[in-house]
Chain A
């Protein structure tokens, strides 16, 4: 698709460029769990027949599969969003000790502005923490080149390599020149038994720890002459050390300054930094989020200015950099008050009905992450927590154990099916084992919707769209010892309400599977259910249908603004019928029925 050649130049996003780099580096195995802004890396790799790609069930699984492939002597890559690396941190830290056979690259995609994330952790800190080298490209062309370099560094130094991107690289498109040849890996695929390298018993681990220090000191030397560092010789007045996307903002805001742009940000090239620092009068460090470079540069005994003036929250941009360093601001045009436009659940979304039913129960909702987190916003307001994937179930159970009888029937945990498979299953095992009387709702919309419709084990399709075994959630739950499992249709709000009310009273663990496909799935769209309409003469303007917050139902105020009527926009209506059941006056009907 987008990899087609227009005059040998491609317009690629950072993510697509990383995928192209991995392809040019002859990667054999690529694994990922979706997560903004990393998702398109694996999506782009599925187009290559000779690369095995998978949506793993979580990031730890993804990295372990890649590590295995590497131990087999082939090149492997895992990509994930920043918080995904927390999940994969366990194998990462020890893989630094064991090292690799085939090149092993891990891409971490950070989201400093939290466009689509629950926190803004700075994953550069993982590099020194895990003792793994890290490359940080600044634009799509470099993203491709650095990905290839990452594979060769990995094989040269026998170590996994991290590549870090941020939203403003992953989702920025720029011009990329593809290479005509693919790299040849240094290792050949084979099964080799190397227990001293790969069995991390304490005796071996201590040896490998020493070996890791030796590898790191060779990497420090390598970093001094690494061709991905770049120096712009400008004025001697101002010198800037920077890396990644911040480099672009510096180049635009301060075209006269001298700039040292670091490409390999762990380990840092100390001599190069010293030499650069000695040539300029005032030295600044420009980086988003944590003072990652600044702290290390100051530890070298070099005087520099960084976070005293550069914001440590959110993304930077040229204006912020210029204003921090020169104090100059451009004239700002006046702002205008506009109603906020938050994202909403789509028309026909199966999450709407179940959350409306839950909102009527007046319970505490221990929530999780996915499209359904939008149910926390008005008008549904049906979620009370959202921390990290899988946490809903454990937190709900914690409230139950903490408050005992006081909490019974007052808490429900809600989790999407992809999130449940990612890290919810172990919680149910824990609850069966430790005795729970909680109620858990699994929102099974047949697909990982929020990140753009990736298939998952219940979808019955692989990453490449090939048919596979469909995970049977009901059988799974029964198999791990849940006695009370109920499957309901969330579009039937009354039934959902009845079942939930009954299960909340039950003095035993019960799991309700709320099952209906995402409204955006092709099979739902093709079904073309007839739209609904409001018979204007019958509408009393009671606003009951507005409570579910469907974007297809519009309130049309009459002249005095207090009164009005509801109207359904046929071109937006998906025909789910939830609103019909909410109207006590029979004013909402299928369009064709008249």
Chain B
């Protein structure tokens, strides 16, 4: 029944908390009764490099890797990163996108320039794009590291998971002193897409 499998791609920059982001979503889906395969890469790839994680859910999931043309949701924690993986998308792909820019080392040292209007490029390919100002939201909350939970909130809008379930997972997975800010980040992220 491969048709019933849904595929999520998380992408961003090493250090943004992508792995925690995909883990919270994976646990929430598992709590709702789905089979899960979540794939990521550790080690060299994490030192500020491009990081991607795949999450697949359905009644029975074999492969941890997604196929070209099969990504349903892209969660971009950085503005240009979703451009890197377009070969995996189709017309049906939805992109949930943090508008925060993090330059590559080539860009920050002035050798290359940041791509112009990534949102426009993605829309030009016919994709549905949902921009979220996650960095601003978190700065207001006083915790810039909670960007990943804002994005979980935004993504949760599209997934068959109850708000309560995700909140339970956040409480279970994070140390208590971080509950408040991360739960707020999650709710703000969800609200950002409701508008």
Contacts and interface: CB of A to CB of B under 8 A. Distances in A.
Interface of A: 4, 6-7, 9, 11, 36-37, 39-40, 115-116, 139, 167-168, 171-175, 245, 247-249, 251-252, 255, 315, 317-319, 330-336, 338-346, 371, 374, 378-379, 450-452, 543, 546, 549, 551, 553-555, 557, 561, 564, 571
A553 B104 CA distance: 11
Contacts of B125: 333-334, 336
Contact of B37 (A172, A338, A379): A172
B30 A546 contact: no
A335 B80 CA distance: 13
A6 B31 contact: yes
A554 B31 contact: no
A346 B109 contact: no
Interface in B82-115: 83-84, 86-90, 103-115
A308 B151 CA distance: 44
Contacts of A336: 83-84, 86, 121, 125
B107 A173 contact: no
A330 B67 contact: yes
Q: What 4 pairs across the A-B complex have the smallest Cβ distances?
A: A116-B43, A36-B43, A343-B49, A555-B110
A321 B49 CA distance: 29
B109 A333 contact: no
A332 B80 contact: no
Given A11-B36, A333-B89, A339 B41 contact: no
Given A255-B2, A318-B67, A319-B68, A371 B47 contact: yes
Nearest to A545: B109
Contacts of A249: 62-63, 65
A551 B65 CA distance: 31
Given A11-B26, A336-B83, A543-B110, A343 B38 contact: no
A341 B44 contact: no
Contacts of A450: 43-44
A31 B179 CA distance: 35
Contacts of B2: 252, 255
B69 A332 contact: yes
A11 B30 contact: yes
A37 B43 CA distance: 8
B46 A335 contact: no
Contact of A334 (B13, B86, B172): B86
Given A338-B80, A343-B46, 9 more contacts: A11-B23, A174-B35, A174-B36, A252-B2, A330-B69, A344-B105, A546-B110, A549-B109, A555-B108
A338 B43 contact: no
Given A175-B30, A333-B90, A346 B48 contact: yes
A584 B106 CA distance: 23
Nearest to B169: A6
A227 to B, nearest CB: 20
A549 B111 CA distance: 12
A318 B65 contact: yes
B49 A341 contact: yes
Given A9-B30, A252-B62, A343-B49, A333 B68 contact: yes
A6 B27 contact: yes
Contacts of A330: 67-70
A175 B36 contact: yes
B131 interface: no
Nearest to A248: B62
B117 to A, nearest CB: 12
Contacts of B14: 343
A252 B49 CA distance: 30
Nearest to B145: A571
A345 to B, nearest CB: 7
A505 B49 CA distance: 38
29 contacts: A6-B27, A11-B23, A11-B26, A11-B30, A11-B36, A36-B43, A37-B42, A116-B45, A171-B39, A248-B63, A249-B63, A249-B65, A317-B65, A330-B67, A331-B90, A332-B87, A336-B84, A336-B125, A338-B80, A342-B104, A343-B14, A343-B47, A371-B47, A374-B47, A378-B105, A546-B109, A551-B48, A555-B110, A557-B110
Contacts of A346: 47-48
Interface in B41-87: 41-50, 61-65, 67-70, 80-81, 83-84, 86-87
How would you classify the secondary structure of chain A's contact residues: helix, strand, loop or mixed? loop
B44 A39 contact: no
A370 B28 CA distance: 36
Given A115-B44, A175-B36, A338-B80, A318 B30 contact: no
A175 B104 contact: no
A555 B121 CA distance: 24
B49 A7 contact: no
Contacts of A345: 47
Contacts of A342: 49, 104-105
A112 to B, nearest CB: 12
Nearest to A39: B42
Contacts of B49: 341-344
Contact of B45 (A331, A343, A564): A343
B83 A338 contact: yes
A171 B37 CA distance: 10
Contacts of A339: 80, 104, 106-107, 112-115
Nearest to A561: B113
B121 A167 contact: no
B167 to A, nearest CB: 14
A228 to B, nearest CB: 17
Contacts of B45: 115-116, 343
B41 A335 contact: no
A317 B63 contact: yes
B133 interface: no
B12 to A, nearest CB: 10
Contacts of B114: 339
A187 to B, nearest CB: 35
Interface string B114-156: 1100000100010000000000000000001000000000000
B112 A248 contact: no
Contacts of A167: 41
Nearest to B54: A172
Given A11-B30, A342-B105, A546-B110, A171 B67 contact: no
B38 A344 contact: no
Contacts of B26: 11, 173
Contact of B109 (A115, A173, A451, A555): A555
Contacts of A252: 2, 62-63
Nearest to B127: A333
Nearest to B65: A317
A557 B70 CA distance: 39
Given A116-B45, A317-B65, A543-B110, A341 B13 contact: yes
